[in-house]
Structure 1
Amino acid sequence: MDKLIPDPPFNTTTPNAEALRTEELLKDREAIKRALNYYLDPPAPYAPTPRRPSTMYMIAPNMDTESLLAQACESLASASVLASDFATHLIGPQRNTVLAIQQIIMLAELAVNRALDNVDPQV
């Protein structure tokens, strides 16, 4: 859209014109610095709060390590069976991907079993 009236030229006839222009530039720079500091480095009340996980599904804090490891082992065993059953219905690269996921689950299950043995050795 064209303007009907052009911007007025900068008035250089006044003796203080250069000083006024410098003052305006300094004010602009200060405003820019304030805006950047506000958005890039927010003041304390606007600082991000630390993340607090949801307590909807919370494990009781007084659970012993052996019970937690046993539950993790059972969950991993179930996930391994689910992945194995799912892989039987797939072919090609998708089947290979699911079998790789199952192998990772089994490795995690082995690690949890070893930790469980370390907590309560079955001698």
Structure 2
Amino acid sequence: MDKLIPDPPFNTTTPNAEALRSEALLKDREAIKRALDYYLDPPKPYAAKPRRPSTMYLVAPDMDTESLLAQACESLASASVLASDFATNLIGPQRNTVLAIQQIIMLAELAVNRALDNVDPQA
């Protein structure tokens, strides 16, 4: 008995479709390479441009180290007190987070105090 519908061919992809697919893969690879080169190795005009920091808040360039360290120590002490006061109003994980921040501030304050002692020993 003869079939009315013939069997489908074994190879459904045509050579033209495979060529198109390989071209698409090549274009993707080229695009990926261009993107990586752009972000990981920026063009020279961008890399050569010097960075200019904002001058909105500027520490006077002629300030001595001792004054700068004393100001940093006072700022850290104030931040530590603020964090401690804020932690008293919190409970649970938020309180633990603020206390951890306060501990980091205290450690920075200790380091600044040590640097201040090295600049101007009291003994």
TM-score by length of 2: 0.65
CA contact (8 A) 1:11 1:17 kept: no
Match for residue 43 of structure 2?
43
Q: Distance in 2 between matches of 1:51 and 1:4?
A: 77
Shift, 1:6, TM fit: 27
Structure 1: 4+ residue segments shifted above 6 A: 1-42
Q: Aligned in 2, Cα 1:119/1:5: closer, same or farther, shift over 3 Å?
A: farther
Q: Aligned in 2, Cα 1:30/1:9: closer, same or farther, shift over 3 Å?
A: farther
Shift, 1:51, TM fit: 1.9
SS at match of 1:16: helix
Shift, 1:82, TM fit: 0.4
Shift, 1:89, TM fit: 0.6
Give the stretch that moved more between structures: 87-96 or 49-58: 49-58
Q: Distance in 1 between matches of 2:64 and 2:4?
A: 80
Query: How many residues matched?
Result: 123
CA contact (8 A) 1:12 1:18 kept: no
Q: Distance in 2 between matches of 1:31 and 1:4?
A: 49
Q: Aligned in 2, Cα 1:97/1:2: closer, same or farther, shift over 3 Å?
A: farther
Q: Distance in 1 between matches of 2:48 and 2:4?
A: 48
Quick one: percent identity of the two aligned structures?
A: 91
Q: Give the unaligned 5+ runs of structure 2.
A: none
Q: Distance in 1 between matches of 2:100 and 2:15?
A: 79
Q: Give the unaligned 5+ runs of structure 1.
A: none
Q: Distance in 2 between matches of 1:2 and 1:50?
A: 81
Q: Distance in 2 between matches of 1:64 and 1:10?
A: 84
Q: Distance in 2 between matches of 1:63 and 1:8?
A: 86
Q: What is the CA deviation profile of residues 66-88 of structure 1, one whole-angstrom value per residue up to 9, with x for unaligned ones?
A: 00000000000000000001001
Shift, 1:50, TM fit: 2.6
Q: Distance in 1 between matches of 2:86 and 2:18?
A: 77
Q: Distance in 2 between matches of 1:96 and 1:2?
A: 81
Q: What is the CA deviation profile of residues 10-35 of structure 1, one whole-angstrom value per residue up to 9, with x for unaligned ones?
A: 99999999999999999999999999
Q: Aligned in 2, Cα 1:18/1:57: closer, same or farther, shift over 3 Å?
A: closer
Give the stretch that moved more between structures: 18-27 or 61-70: 18-27
SS at match of 2:2: coil
